[in-house]
Every structure is written in structure tokens, then in C-alpha cells.
Amino acid sequence: MTDGKTEKPGPSDSRSVTTVHELHKAAVWIGLGIIVALMVLLVQPMLLIFAALVLAAMLDGGTRLLGRISPIGRGWRLLLTCLGVIGFIAWVIYFAGSQIAGQFEALRLVVETQLSRVSLWAHAQGLLPKTGSGEKIANEIMGSLGRLTSWVGSALGALSSIAMIIVLGIFIAAEPRLYERGFAWLLPIERRADFYATTERMG
């Protein structure tokens, strides 16, 4: 019994124009939320892929540069380029590593000294109890196991990311045509022709 009132379509009336319109709006918002969540989750892998593309372009450039002065095959030229890059990185680590380690040690000493001064000033002002030692507090802060664990985890994560970039870069540089269509799929359709032209010029 409607008491003369006009009935409006409900959620179960899927054939209603109003219900279908509202369902479309809800689907758009849900889809937008899913896309944003996927972008947040996939931002790191996408950055790794783009970094591998940059590395592959550099390796390919070195390979083509060697091709101008040497008649050997592309695979051998790519191997020589990779060995050259590895040698350069080893040289940088060998010569700059000791300097960087020395700078970190100097920074640690400066921070410990400043923490000791702050602790002594706090004792003099009565902000800290007399039983505590400034050097002990500084050593506890600097030698925190949690910070060390976090640093080791960050270092391992960075090393694994670098290894992934290097492996992907070498694979892409070795056979760029194999991955060309996959990377073009990430671009809008109207931009793919420019991408194919760029990769064609890269050789």
C-alpha cells in the first residue's frame, strides 16, 4: 500500500536507470581508489624498472660506441661495457670508500661530543639527575641496537635494489626488442609511435 506516494527504485531494481547510474558512479569511485592503492604499492617496482631502463640505455650507448671502433659482435661489446662499468664502480669504492668511512667516523665523534656537552649542560641546570653520566647516555644513544638493525636493513634493501637494477638493465640492453612492446604498453596509445621511433634510433 503506497498511500498515494510515488515509489522510487531500490537497490534490488537493477534495471532502473537511476540505480544503474548510481552503480556506475560507485564503480568509478571504487576503481579510482583501487588505482591509487596500486600506484602506492607499485611505485617502488616502477622506479626500479625505470632505473633499469636508464642503465640499459647507458649500456647500449657504450656498446654502440665500441661498435664504431671494434668489429666484434654486440654480445662481446656489451660484455666489455659491463666490465668497464664494474671496474669504474670498484675504482670509486676503493678510492672514495676510505674517505667516506673517515668522514662518518668524524661525524660520529662530533655527535658524541655534542651530546656529552648537552648532557653536562643539562646536569648543570638541574634538568637531569646527578646519577646519570653524560657519556653513558651518549653511548647508549649512539649504540642503539634498533638503529643499527634499521641501518643494516636499509643497506641490504639498497643493495638488493641496486642488484635488481643491474640485472634488469643488462637483460634489457642484451635484447631490447624483446621488452619493447611491454614498455610501450605502459604508455598512452598516442605516445607509442614516438617511443618506437626513439628505440629505433637507439638501435
Q: Where are the domains of the chain?
A: 17-202
Give yes or no for residue 19 having a pLDDT over 60.
yes
H or E element at residue 12: none
Q: How confident is the model at residue 184 (pLDDT cuts 50, 70, 90)?
A: confident
The contacts of residue 52 (CB under 8 Å, 6+ apart) are 164, 165, 168, 169, 172
Other residues' Cβ atoms within 10 Å of the Cβ of residue 61: 14
DSSP 105: H
Closest CA relative to residue 53, chosen from 200, 168, 154? 168
Whether the per-residue pLDDT at 132 is higher than 70: the answer is no
157 pLDDT higher than 70? yes
Q: What is the pLDDT of residue 114?
A: 80
Q: How far is CA 147 from CA 101, 114, 136, 153, 162, in A?
A: 18, 19, 17, 10, 22
Does position 1 have pLDDT exceeding 70, yes or no? no
Q: What pLDDT score was predicted for residue 102?
A: 73
Euclidean distance between CA atoms 107 and 113, whole angstroms: 10
Question: C-alpha cell of 142?
Answer: 649512539
Cell of 95: 678510492
**Exposed / middle / buried, residue 71 (Cβ in 10 Å: 0-12, 13-18, 19+):** exposed
CB-based contacts of 108: which residues, under 8 Å, 6+ apart? 142
pLDDT in tens, 71-91: 888 888 888 888 888 888 888
> Is the pLDDT reported for residue 14 higher than 80?
no
Per-residue pLDDT at 139: 60
Task: Give mean pLDDT, residues 157-165.
Answer: 84
Nearest to 127 by CA among 135, 114, 116, 118: 118
Whether residue 30 has pLDDT greater than 80: yes
**Distance from C-alpha of 104 to C-alpha of 157, rounded to nearest angstrom:** 20
Highest mean pLDDT (candidates 5-14, 137-146, 193-202): 193-202
Are the CB atoms for 192 and 78 separated by under 8 Å? no
Identify the pLDDT of residue 87: 87
